[in-house]
């Protein structure tokens, strides 16, 4: 019974890594501006790092423009700097507390950059899934050492965890391939 709880927890955590990966890919827009492009950006503010949506409202007034309305006048420069230093290659223009972020047309070079960013996100997701697998296997080994489960049962459960991991990594690879195809499509 406890084994099912362990497997369900690992499944939930791996699904979480997959969902986070999909959300990050949602930020890589190919044709239109989208607020999800800027949502993952972290800004150095108030003695720490804060997600951009907690400092400003994001809007898309035109297909190729995102506006960032910063609520605190003192944070405008920090938000501008965070957008510039993100790996998105954007060049924001500040007008008071409003920051305009024009989304450039995608040339072939920019498309290749986006596929590299997508590959980086995929690798982070794979590492997350593998870390969940490692945690699960360590928990099984502790339980086997404590005498809670037999060695055969431990091996069987390790195989189940490995197949769960393989399935999630395969899903990450398929999602990445689909996004690459979408990015490179002219």
Residue 111 has pLDDT above 90, yes or no: no
Nearest in space to 135 (alpha carbons), one of 164, 176, 167, 173: 164
Nearest in space to 164 (alpha carbons), one of 131, 135, 133: 133
Residue 146 has pLDDT above 70, yes or no: yes
What would the pLDDT profile of 46-58 be if each residue is shown by its tens digit?
888 888 899 899 9
Confidence of residue 23 (pLDDT cuts 50, 70, 90): confident
Burial code of 33-42, b = ≥16 C-beta within 10 A, e = fewer? bbbbbbebbe
Q: What is the 3-state secondary structure (H, E, C) of the chain?
A: CHHHHHHHHHHHHHHHHHHHHHHHHHCCCCCCCCHHHCCCCEEEECCEEEEHHHCEEEEEEECCEEEEEECCHHHHHHHHHHHHHCCCCCCCEEECCEEEEECCCCCHHHHHHHHHHHHHHHHHHHHHHHHHHHHHHHHHHHHHHHCCCCHHHHHHHHHHHHHHHHHHHHHHHHHHHHHHHHHHCC
The arithmetic mean of pLDDT across residues 103-111, rounded, is 79
Q: For position 103, what pLDDT does the model report?
A: 82
The Cα-based distances of 87 to 18, 96, 142, 167 in angstroms read: 21, 24, 41, 29
Residue 129 has pLDDT above 90, yes or no: yes
The mean predicted confidence, pLDDT, of the chain is 87
Residue 14 has pLDDT above 90, yes or no: yes
Q: For position 125, what pLDDT does the model report?
A: 94
pTM equals 0.68
Confidence of residue 134 (pLDDT cuts 50, 70, 90): very high
Question: What domains sit in the chain, N to C, each tagged with a CATH number?
Answer: 2-25+107-184 (1.10.132.20), 32-102 (3.30.1360.40)
Q: How does strand 48-51 pair with strand 56-62?
A: unpaired
Q: For position 30, what pLDDT does the model report?
A: 59
Separation between Cα atoms, residue 101 and residue 61, nearest integer Å? 11
Separation between Cα atoms, residue 77 and residue 153, nearest integer Å? 57
Confidence of residue 64 (pLDDT cuts 50, 70, 90): confident
CA–chain centroid gap for 26, Å, is 9
What would the pLDDT profile of 80-92 be if each residue is shown by its tens digit?
999 888 877 788 9
Q: For position 29, what pLDDT does the model report?
A: 63
Looking at per-residue pLDDT, the higher value among 41 and 131 belongs to 131
- What percentage of the chain reaches a pLDDT higher than 70? 96
Flag the least confident range among 61-65, 105-109, 179-183: 105-109
- Six-digit token pair at 57? 């409202």
């Amino acid at each position: 019974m406890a084994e099912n709880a362990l497997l369900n927890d690992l499944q939930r955590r791996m699904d979480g890594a997959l969902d986070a990966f999909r959300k990050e890919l949602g930020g890589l827009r190919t044709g239109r501006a989208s607020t999800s492009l800027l949502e993952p950006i972290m800004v150095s503010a108030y003695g720490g790092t804060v997600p951009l949506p907690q400092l400003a409202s994001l809007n898309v007034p035109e297909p190729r423009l995102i506006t960032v309305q910063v609520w605190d006048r003192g944070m405008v420069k920090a938000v501008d700097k965070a957008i510039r230093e993100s790996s998105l290659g954007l060049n924001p223009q500040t007008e008071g507390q409003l920051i305009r972020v024009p989304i450039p047309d995608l040339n072939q070079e920019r498309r290749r950059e986006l596929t590299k960013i997508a590959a980086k996100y995929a690798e982070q997701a794979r590492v997350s899934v593998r870390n969940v697998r490692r945690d699960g296997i360590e928990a099984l080994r502790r339980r086997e050492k404590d005498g809670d489960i037999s060695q055969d049962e431990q091996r069987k459960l390790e195989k189940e965890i490995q197949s769960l991991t393989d399935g999630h990594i395969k899903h990450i690879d398929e999602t990445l391939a689909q996004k690459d195809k979408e990015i490179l499509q002219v």
